């Protein structure tokens, strides 16, 4: 199988780590208070994590928009 | 001001004196019979990347060679400490069992992504069907593709589980919730098997060159705590 997408969204290893971390801390773990902070209703939290990463990166670099690069032909 | 809990630990498992939690607060030990909580006395926290990382940093500080905490989900905050202790007492026996099962283990995550675009029917949400019949056909085709993908994912999961069986204590599989998510698994692995597990995961990557395999960890066992 090969992708027909001409561009590829790329995250550094540190960003992937943060995404996996967010997914665990916000969507897993034991609940003892009977309520959760965030209701995610079927939304994969890896995308919420991505938004946190993107927001952090935008703040750090002053640039906005999704990080992307075009892979070599 | 209320009380915020990070993780469940064995009774007497003190937090390091210099450990700071959310809002730069002290992390204290709150005893609940045979188990305890690591907690901070703070106002209800906001959710942001820094707070999430700080929560996990406290959970990971509880990990030793002999102790693996039961991680709590972010946001376990209550105004009333007595109410939180009462809530814990109801589950104390179950948490004590989990602490025993987690001792000496940590979690690894395996995520297989399918970079290929979905083939066949247009996504129902993006289509503008000319008729109700076209809409129903689109739904039917999407359902058929989803069923096929689930079947393929189950075959891959079974094979991966067999290849890793000798290294894993428990396994959790997460339902794929995005188009490119092929398979998401979490494994509870004992420390003595960490290197062998990683090596076997790298070999699994070579078995499925059309998929992208992401290996993460070791983590505190969030996926097995709920």
Q: State residue B125's pLDDT score.
A: 53
What is the pLDDT, as a whole number, of residue B164?
A: 96
Check whether A48 has a pLDDT greater than 90: no
CB of B211 closer than 8 Å to CB of B114: yes
Quick check: A28 contacting B, CB < 8 Å?
yes
Provide the token pair at B18.
């210099």
Q: What is the DSSP letter of B100?
A: H
The B-side interface with A (CB below 8 A) comprises 5, 8, 47-49, 52-53, 55-56, 70-78, 84, 87-88, 91, 95, 109, 111, 114-117, 177-178, 181, 210, 214, 216, 219, 222-223, 225-226
Please check the confidence at residue B19 and state whether its pLDDT lies above 90: yes
This prediction's pTM: 0.78
C-alpha to C-alpha distance for B213 and B110, rounded to whole angstroms: 7
Reply yes or no on whether the pLDDT at B217 is more than 70.
Answer: yes
d(CA B160, CA B204): 7
Residue of chain B nearest A7, judged by CA positions: B115
* 8 A C-beta contact, residue B34 and residue B92: yes
Whether residue A50 is predicted with pLDDT greater than 70 in this model: the reply is: no
pLDDT of residue A42: 44
Cα B184 to Cα B154: distance, rounded to the nearest angstrom:
11
- pLDDT category at A12 given cuts 50, 70, 90 is low
Predicted confidence (pLDDT) per residue in B138-193, tens digit: 888 888 888 888 888 889 999 999 999 999 999 999 876 666 778 889 999 999 99
- ipTM above threshold 0.85: no
Phi, psi at residue B205, to the nearest 5°? -55, -40
Cβ contacts of A52 on chain B, cutoff 8 Å: 48-49, 52
DSSP assignment, residue B75? T
Smallest CA-to-CA distance from B140 within B128, B130, B151, B132 is with: B132
Contacts of A58 (CB under 8 A, 6+ apart): A64
pLDDT grade for B18, boundaries at 50, 70 and 90: very high
CA nearest neighbour of A63 among A71, A72, A54: A54
Place of tokens 């075009």: A70
**What's the pLDDT score for residue A6?**
35
Reported as a single tens digit per residue, the pLDDT across B69-106 is 999 999 999 888 888 888 888 889 999 999 999 999 99
Nearest to B116 among A2, A43, A46 (CB): A2
pLDDT classification of B209: cutoffs 50, 70, 90: confident
Between residues B50 and B222, the one the model is more confident about: B222
pLDDT the model gives residue B196: 96
CA distance B87 to chain A (A): 6
pLDDT digits (tens, 9 = 90+) for B31-65: 998 999 999 999 989 888 889 999 999 999 999 99
CA distance A52 to chain B (A): 6
- The partner residue sitting opposite A3, judged by closest CB among B117, B181, B214, is B117
Q: Is the pLDDT higher at B197 or at A57? A: B197
Rg (CA), chain B: 22
Chain B touched by A36 (CB under 8 Å)? yes
Range in A4-8, B90-94, B131-135, B219-223 with the lowest mean pLDDT = A4-8
What is the Cα–Cα distance from B203 to B2, expressed in whole angstroms?
48
Is the pLDDT reported for residue A3 higher than 50? Answer: no
- In this prediction, residue B181 carries a pLDDT of 76
Strand partners, B29: B38
pLDDT in tens, A57-68: 554 455 444 333
Average pLDDT over residues A19-36: 83
What number is the average pLDDT over the span A14-36?
81
Which has the higher per-residue pLDDT, A44 or B219?
B219
């Amino acid at each position: 199988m090969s992708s027909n997408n001409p561009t590829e969204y790329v995250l550094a290893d540190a960003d992937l780590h943060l995404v996996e971390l967010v997914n665990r801390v916000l969507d897993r773990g034991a609940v003892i208070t009977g309520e959760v902070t965030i209701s995610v209703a079927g939304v994969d939290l890896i995308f919420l994590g991505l938004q946190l990463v993107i927001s952090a990166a935008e703040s750090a670099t002053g640039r906005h928009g999704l990080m992307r690069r075009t892979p070599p032909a | 001001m209320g009380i915020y809990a990070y993780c469940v630990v064995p009774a007497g498992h003190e937090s390091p004196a210099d450990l700071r939690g959310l809002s730069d607060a002290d992390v204290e030990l709150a005893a609940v019979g045979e188990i305890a909580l690591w907690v901070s006395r703070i106002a209800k926290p906001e959710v942001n990347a820094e707070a999430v990382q700080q929560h996990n940093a406290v959970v990971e500080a509880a990990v030793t060679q002999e102790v693996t905490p039961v991680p709590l989900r972010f946001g376990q905050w209550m105004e009333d400490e007595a109410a939180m202790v009462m809530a814990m007492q109801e589950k104390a026996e179950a948490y004590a069992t989990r602490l025993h099962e987690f001792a000496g283990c940590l979690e690894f995550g395996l995520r297989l992504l399918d970079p290929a675009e979905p083939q066949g029917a247009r996504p129902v949400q993006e289509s503008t069907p000319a008729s109700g019949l076209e809409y129903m056909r689109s739904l039917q085709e999407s359902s058929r593709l989803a069923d096929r993908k689930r079947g393929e994912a189950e075959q891959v999961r079974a094979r991966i589980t067999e290849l890793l069986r000798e290294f894993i204590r428990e396994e959790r599989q997460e339902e794929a919730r995005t188009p490119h998510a092929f398979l998401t698994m979490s494994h509870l692995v004992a420390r003595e098997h960490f290197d062998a597990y990683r090596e076997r995961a790298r070999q699994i990557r070579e078995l499925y060159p059309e998929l992208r395999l992401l290996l993460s960890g070791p983590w505190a066992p969030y996926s097995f705590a709920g």
